[in-house]
Amino acid sequence: MVYILQYYPPTERQEVYMDRPALPKILVIDDEPEICWIMKKVLSENGCEAHTAFNGEQGMDMAEAVSPDLVFLDMKLPGVDGLEVLQRLKSKNPSLPVIILSAFDNVSAAVKAMKLGAYDYISKPLNIDEMLITLKNAMNTTQLINEVENLQRQIKKHDSLIWSCASMQKVIDLVDRIAPYEVTVFIRGESGTGKELIAEYIHQHSQRAKEPLVSIDCSALPENLVESELFGYEKGAFTGAHTDKPGRFELAHGGTLFLDEIGNLPVTTQVKLLRVLQERCMHRLGGKKEIEINVRLITATNTDIEKAIQQGLFREDLYHRLNEFSLYLPSLRERQEDIELLVQHFISRFNPQFEKSVKQVSPEAMNFLKTYAWPGNVRELMNVIKRAVIMAQETIEFQHLPIETFQARQTPIQEQAAPIPSDNPIRPLKEICQEVARRVERETISRVLQETRWNKVKTARLLQINYKTLFNKMRELGI
């Protein structure tokens, strides 16, 4: 999106700007004025507030002045070099994403920069499309990291609130015992139970805590990209490989590699992963050099891995290699006694965010929350309370809950769930059944799309329908 404010009169300009979301602030630090000019122009045309600096000292002063959301940093700078600038920037703001600008002959320095905390690197001469894609990915990743870190801060701040039930306390006790030891951990549990948070907890309490924690979601990548992401590639390994790129194993060297949704890893990649784990070394795609691997591996899945083994979708020998120590995270259905505490926790969290003063939940609403099965677990509960806080005044009432969603998905834990009040007139049974079926169908497709991160091919496969049918259903149901 392009923002051209200069075409508005001054009196109108302020109104238009105030109505629009704040522009992401991007800082470019490069000693080549032409590079800075081009990047500033492209970034401005793509909805960013761009700033430039031509040396390290000026760049750090500019970062202090404008508090950028992301920095493009050249490796070779007059005076203070890029690595030192990176270290200073990260020491002041560890969560600041920094993308390295590096010449083809300086890849080793870029890899070193990534181990010091840089998000990614781009080779010169610049490819504008690659730059914009990397920028978008970095901003999305930063947003997700901020959300996770915020949730972790809440967990640490309200530890007794979050981990009050016996089943979760047992998990934490196990994690505290195994974290210091070099064992591969296999985490199992439904989506939304906090598997990635547990992986980070293990890393933070391990002997590798000062080294990087690198994560990859195996379900979010197309099959043809999984191996290149894990193992990296050499220049010329395939069409589009214009430079060397290290994989996640290299980036995690000395630290921890977390493979989320390992059950979705293609069988061909499973074979290569098993060989890497056994030999503790690997080759990049298209490369001949043997690279030593020194990582602690943590994996997680929400699938029935034993069934996948029986169906030939997951290698049994790899499973035994990964399953040195197994953890099971209980679902929210298994933590009923935590629901009221979690609800109060999320109310306290969202009140200041939305400038609200919600104080309590009505008995009717709380009773319903306690009887709902929560297929989305803690993540779903958090979203429900977030919506309810926005809708409510001082008390969250039954009508502030997304009852339509609950009715379509409800699997009561107790035999007698809370009554669902309704003022609807009596309608023909056939009409009601059609409406319910449509609602269930929409919710099911939406849930699977969310779980596959809107991968329509994978969604169609999981729902056992063809891609065209899924496309038509999405259009018909307004998804």
Confidence of residue 6 (pLDDT cuts 50, 70, 90): very low
CATH class of the region 5-141:
alpha beta
Is the C-alpha dihedral spanning 181, 186, 188, 192 positive or negative?
positive
Q: Which CATH architecture has domain 429-477?
A: Orthogonal Bundle (1.10)
User: What class, spelled out in words, does domain 332-409 have in CATH?
Assistant: mainly alpha
Q: Give the start-to-end residue ranges of the domains of the chain.
A: 5-141, 158-328, 332-409, 429-477
- For residue 431, pLDDT over 90 is answered with no
The CATH number of 158-328, from 1.10.579.10, 3.40.630.30, 3.40.800.20, 3.40.50.300, is 3.40.50.300
pLDDT band at 5 (very low <50, low <70, confident <90, very high): very low
pTM for the whole thing? 0.52
9 pLDDT tier (thresholds 50, 70, 90): very low
Return contacts of 107-112, CB within 8 angstroms, 24+ apart: 107/243, 107/244, 109/75, 109/82, 109/83, 110/75, 111/246, 111/250, 111/251, 112/83
Distance in angstroms (rounded) separating the CA atoms of residues 421 and 161: 31
Q: What is the pLDDT of residues 212-242, one digit of tens each?
A: 999 998 888 777 788 888 998 888 888 877 8
pLDDT averaged over every residue in the chain: 81
The pLDDT tens digits of the residues spanning 69-120 come to 999 999 888 888 889 999 999 988 888 999 999 876 566 777 788 888 888 8
Phi, psi of 74 (to 5 degrees): -75, 145
* CA 380/CA 392 separation, integer angstroms: 18
Segment 153-203, tens digit of pLDDT: 544 443 333 667 788 889 889 999 999 999 999 999 998 888 888 999 899
Alpha carbon of 189 to those of 141, 193, 267, 301, 373: distances in Å?
A: 23, 7, 22, 7, 15
Q: Is the pLDDT of residue 327 over 90?
A: yes
pLDDT per residue over 111-159, tens digit each? 788 888 888 888 888 888 889 999 988 888 877 776 666 555 544 443 3
Using pLDDT thresholds of 50, 70 and 90, give the confidence band for residue 4.
very low
Ramachandran sector of residue 17 (left: φ over 0; alpha: ψ -120 to 50; beta: rest): alpha
* Residues 218, 235: Cα–Cα separation, whole Å: 24
Q: 38-75 burial string, b = 16+ CB within 10 Å, else e?
A: bbbebbbebebbbbbbbbbebbbebbeeeebbbbbbbb
Q: Three-state DSSP class for 254?
A: coil
Give the pLDDT score at 371: 84
238: enclosing H helix or E strand: none
DSSP 420: -
Query: Which of 132-136, 152-156, 285-289, 329-333 shows the lowest mean pLDDT across its residues?
Result: 152-156
pLDDT over 70 (residue 380): yes
- Say how many C-beta atoms besides its own lie within 10 A of residue 451's C-beta: 18
Q: What single string gives the DSSP state of each residue in 6-40? A: GGS-HHHHHHHHHHSPPPPEEEEE-S-HHHHHHHH
Q: Indicate if 158-328 has the same CATH topology as 5-141.
A: yes
Using one digit for the tens of pLDDT, what is the confidence trace for 231-273? 988 888 888 778 888 889 999 999 999 999 999 899 989 999 9
